[in-house]
Amino acid sequence: MTNKWPLSIVILVALYCNLSHGYSALEDARIIAEYKRSLKASGEPKELDHAAIARKLVHQTDWASVGTISSNPAVKGFPMVNIISINDNDVHQKSTGRIRFLLTDLDFTGIDWQVSNKTTFLFTDEQQLHCSRPKGWNVQPIDPMEPTCARVMISGQVKKMDKNAKDYDPALVSFVERHPAAKNWLKAHAFYLCELEIENIFVLDYYGGPHTVKPDDYYNVQL
């Protein structure tokens, strides 16, 4: 009886043996390509749809870790991170891929983007505990830092939405439906609705480094 080792163990052992003689990117790529060929020969899926994974991670999560370039005098020029509630639904609660969120100038992100309008949103499958607490009695947990715990980093610029635009009210209604607490935010503070103008998407969902996804491919995914 043969013992079928988990994919992560196979690759990590191979990489460890390789690293003991010095790291080689070419050897790393060879090991991964060889394993994918073995999957193809066995009839198992060999390729991941990186654009679809990015859309899924954005759609399934209610918030993102957001990085900006700090304008705060205490840490000016340093990276600043924050938690921002997001919504990519339309009024019918269907995914659009468009990342919308509320900001206030009383918060780090609301101030930073007006000084240096560059930001990156991070989404990970661990936000749903799919990695550390997978379903299934025989499914092994995955550390959130493992490449097989899928994550997507979406970079772009903050666009403050025009309240007079025809898509503003539907977008705000959809956001509040997903985040009921936003009703109080809008009453108590000067929050405004924004959208991320996506410029670059990196997806890390397997060993071998991140993959670049074109924004058009991301938006064209049908969920």
According to the model, what pLDDT value does residue 3 have? Answer: 45
Residue 63 falls in which region: left (phi positive, over 0), alpha (psi -120 to 50) or beta: beta
According to the model, what pLDDT value does residue 28 have? Answer: 64
According to the model, what pLDDT value does residue 1 have? Answer: 41
Residue 213, Cβ neighbours under 10 Å: how many? 23
Q: Please give the Cα distance from 85 to 101 (Å, whole number).
A: 6
DSSP assignment string, 41-110: HHT------HHHHHHHHHHH-SEEEEEEE---GGGTTSEEEEEEEEEEE-TTS-EEEEEEEEE-TTSHHH
According to the model, what pLDDT value does residue 19 have? Answer: 47
3-state secondary structure (DSSP) of residue 167: coil
Entry pTM: 0.80
Closest to 204 (Cα-Cα) out of 57, 61, 73, 19: 57
Q: What is the CATH number of the domain that holds 175?
A: 2.30.110.10
pLDDT, tens digit (0-9, with 9 covering 90-100), for 30-76: 766 766 666 566 555 556 899 999 999 999 999 999 999 999 999 99
Asked if residue 108 lies in contact with residue 82, where contact means CB atoms within 8 angstroms, the answer is yes
Residue 36 in domain: no
Instruction: Say which residues have a Cβ less than 8 Å from residue 110's Cβ, sequence separation at least 6.
Output: 103, 104
Residue 40 in domain: no
Residues listed for the chain: 223
Q: Please give the Cα distance from 144 to 183 (Å, whole number).
A: 33
Residue 69 in domain: yes
Residue 9 in domain: no
Give the structural domain span for 52.
Answer: 47-126+145-220
pLDDT, tens digit (0-9, with 9 covering 90-100), for 183-197: 999 987 789 999 999
**How far is residue 178 from each of residues 52, 84, 187, measured CA to CA in Å?**
22, 13, 17
According to the model, what pLDDT value does residue 20 have? Answer: 45
User: pLDDT below 50 — which residues of the chain?
Assistant: 1-4, 15-16, 18-20
Residue 63 in domain: yes
Number of domains in the chain: 1
According to the model, what pLDDT value does residue 11 have? Answer: 53
Residue 31 in domain: no
Identify the DSSP state of 165: S
Q: Please give the Cα distance from 76 to 8 (Å, whole number).
A: 40
Residue 59 in domain: yes
Residue 154 bridge partners (DSSP): 121, 201
Residue 132 in domain: no
Asked if residue 62 lies in contact with residue 102, where contact means CB atoms within 8 angstroms, the answer is no
According to the model, what pLDDT value does residue 43 have? Answer: 58
